[in-house]
Amino acid sequence: MKRDVVIIGSGLGGLVCAFVLSRMGRSVLVLEKERQPGGCLQSYRRRGWNFDTGFHYVGGLAEGQSLHAAFDYLGLLSLPWHRLDPASERIRIGERMFSLMQGYEAFADTLSAQFPSQRKALSEYVALLAQTNRSSADVLNPRAEVTDWGTSLWGTGAYAYLMNTFHDAELVDALSGASLKMELKRDSLPLFTFLHGNGSYVESSWRLRGDGSLLVDALVRGIRSQGGEVLCGSEVTKLSEANGRLAYACCANGECYEADTFICDAHPAVACRLVEQSRLLRNVYRSRIARLENTSGMFTLALRLKPRTFPYVNWNQYIYREPGVWSAADAEVPAGGGLMVSCRVPQEGNAYAEQIDLLTPMPWSVCRMWQDTEPGRRGEAYAAMKADWAEACLTLAEECFPGLRSMIAEQYTSTPLTYAHYTYSPQGSAYGVRKDFRNPLQTVLSARTPIPNLLLTGQSLMLHGLQGVTMTALFTCAALVGKEKVWSEVFLREP
């Protein structure tokens, strides 16, 4: 049976593409190599408890905000969302505390109270955040005025902009302290990436009452109800050609699936390997993809807590040992890059947290020596390394939450190696390809490839994070069906 579209990978990007295209009447098949779909959204189960991998919170879900229309179309707004406190992101840097508020005006006013000389600069900054949020969807609007505004932000360094705008290293630290959701590289991070990665959370911030698999399950149900298929345990090993186009996706189990169009939700380097023997993919494109650097990964310490020991906190806490948030991003020592503490929303009526995740950046260099060893066989040295990182995370977390160690019932760890093995992310990269303001044309990728019927999607193209990958998937769909169709279906439809 020939399909209209075969999608390789069931991460958020692949599932959104499958949902949108199946809803538009295309016959869609999603092929996933793992036993369960979801990519970085998938959860894992230990002793009756579900733990998240990459998902913790999302921004911009309220009506009129940057992600509302897309999530409404995808049927995701009906999930049990829980809004965070007005001060949704709280940051401790050394001995100082800062709060990042929801709402542009509240955001600027609260920081202006601590930095009164920077009020005008902060007002201009939040206006830039708002404009960036609007621009994500406007790119799909066929009637939107085309300007070079977004292009100029891709070619501007985030760190230089912040330092030149605020002239206050302490305020720059405060504005950057909640940015563990991206890689803070002074010599590469584009201003657009920084603004986009923070902007939707200033609109509004939300957690799920449950784990990320709720998102995955809802999308898979929607795809199947619209006639699409999702097959797990189907690892694509080759995309083969016929008559000058890709024709089949061939799997390790011997099955081959024919389609008119193929969408790869894996890393672009994986897409190149799948068509390694094809003459359709020019060498210059392969070389460009091969030269791309990847962002760093994350170390996660997942905790299940003893009952009624830790009162639930309805915000995300970020902790840095000392000033210099951008310098900390380069640290290779345990928890040296700062720490994010995120609580799972407890069951209805429970005022105490049941699960907490501690996350800190971990460079690939820390764990790459075990990259050729299967999970469970990495030996005592790997276990000791993880124990050191877990200990450092707990020590830093207890600066804001004293006695946390005594509240732990169980704990589990994951490293970039874990991500590389289970999500097929090269080097366990947490944010995909590293964007570089010095060379945006090479590091910001299009959904189109030199092969006419091969498209890309996922966080390595333009935008990462839940909002970024969702919008990128819509760009991918637009490359296939046109901007007008996507814009009218998603953003102009009747409620």
HEC secondary structure over the chain: CCEEEEEECCCHHHHHHHHHHHHCCCCEEEECCCCCCCHHHCEEEECCEEEECCCCCEECCCCCCCCHHHHHHCCCCCCCEEECCCCCEEEEECCEEEEECCCHHHHHHHHHHHCHHHHHHHHHHHHHHHHHHHHHHHCCCCCCCCCCHHHHHHCCEHHHHHHHHHCCHHHHHHHHCCHHHCCCCCCCCEHHHHHHHHHHHHHCEEEECCCCHHHHHHHHHHHHHCCCEEECCCCEEEEEEECCEEEEEEECCCCEEEEEEEEECCCHHHHHHHCCCCCCCCHHHHHHHHHCCECCEEEEEEEEECCCCCECCCCEEEEECCCCHHHHCCCCCCCCCCEEEEECCCCCCCCECCEEEEEEEECHHHHHHHCCCCCCCCHHHHHHHHHHHHHHHHHHHCCCCCCHHHHEEEEEEECHHHHHHHHCCHHHCCCCECCCCCCHHHHCCCCECCCCCEEECCCCCCCCHHHHHHHHHHHHHHHHHCHHHHHHHHHCCCC
| Confidence at residue 146, expressed as pLDDT on a 0 to 100 scale | 58
Q: What is the pLDDT of residues 45-62, one digit of tens each?
A: 888 888 888 889 999 999
Residues 478 and 461: their CA atoms lie apart, in Å, by: 14
| Confidence at residue 108, expressed as pLDDT on a 0 to 100 scale | 97
| Confidence at residue 44, expressed as pLDDT on a 0 to 100 scale | 85
Q: What is the pLDDT of residues 407-423, one digit of tens each?
A: 999 999 999 998 888 77
User: Average pLDDT, stretch 198-209?
Assistant: 96
Tell me the pLDDT band of 148, cut-offs 50, 70 and 90.
low
10 Å Cβ neighbour count for 174? 22
Q: Which pTM was predicted?
A: 0.96
Quote the distance between the C-alpha of residue 352 and its chain's center: 28
Percent of the chain with pLDDT over 90: 80
| Confidence at residue 242, expressed as pLDDT on a 0 to 100 scale | 86
Tell me the pLDDT band of 5, cut-offs 50, 70 and 90.
very high
Look over the chain and give the mean of its residue pLDDT values, rounded to a whole number.
Answer: 93
Give the residue with greater pLDDT, 137 vs 453.
Answer: 453
Answer for the pair 381, 271: CB distance below 8 angstroms, yes or no. no
User: Average pLDDT, stretch 127-137?
Assistant: 88
| Confidence at residue 195, expressed as pLDDT on a 0 to 100 scale | 96
Answer for the pair 99, 110: CB distance below 8 angstroms, yes or no. yes
Tell me the pLDDT band of 86, cut-offs 50, 70 and 90.
very high
Q: What is the pLDDT of residues 451-484, one digit of tens each?
A: 999 999 999 999 989 999 999 999 999 999 999 9
| Confidence at residue 145, expressed as pLDDT on a 0 to 100 scale | 66
Tokens of 29: 């098949």
Percent of the chain with pLDDT over 70: 98
Q: What is the pLDDT of residues 282-318, one digit of tens each?
A: 788 888 999 999 999 999 999 999 999 999 999 999 9
With CA atoms as reference, report the closest residue to 326 among 194, 449, 460: 194
Residues in Cβ contact with 297 at an 8 Å cutoff, skipping those fewer than 6 apart = 361, 362, 363, 364, 415, 416, 419, 420, 425, 427, 428, 429, 430
User: Average pLDDT, stretch 113-134?
Assistant: 95
Specify the domain boundaries for CATH 3.50.50.60 within the chain: 3-55+211-293+431-491
| Confidence at residue 27, expressed as pLDDT on a 0 to 100 scale | 98
> Which overall architecture, per CATH, does domain 3-55+211-293+431-491 show?
3-Layer(bba) Sandwich (3.50)
With CA atoms as reference, report the closest residue to 89 among 184, 170, 172, 177: 177
Tell me the pLDDT band of 101, cut-offs 50, 70 and 90.
very high
User: Average pLDDT, stretch 32-44?
Assistant: 89
Tell me the pLDDT band of 149, cut-offs 50, 70 and 90.
low
- Is residue 178 scored above 80 in pLDDT? yes
| Confidence at residue 119, expressed as pLDDT on a 0 to 100 scale | 96
Q: Are strands 205-208 and 58-59 parallel, antiparallel or unpaired?
A: antiparallel
Q: What is the pLDDT of residues 349-386, one digit of tens each?
A: 899 999 999 999 999 999 999 988 888 889 999 999 99
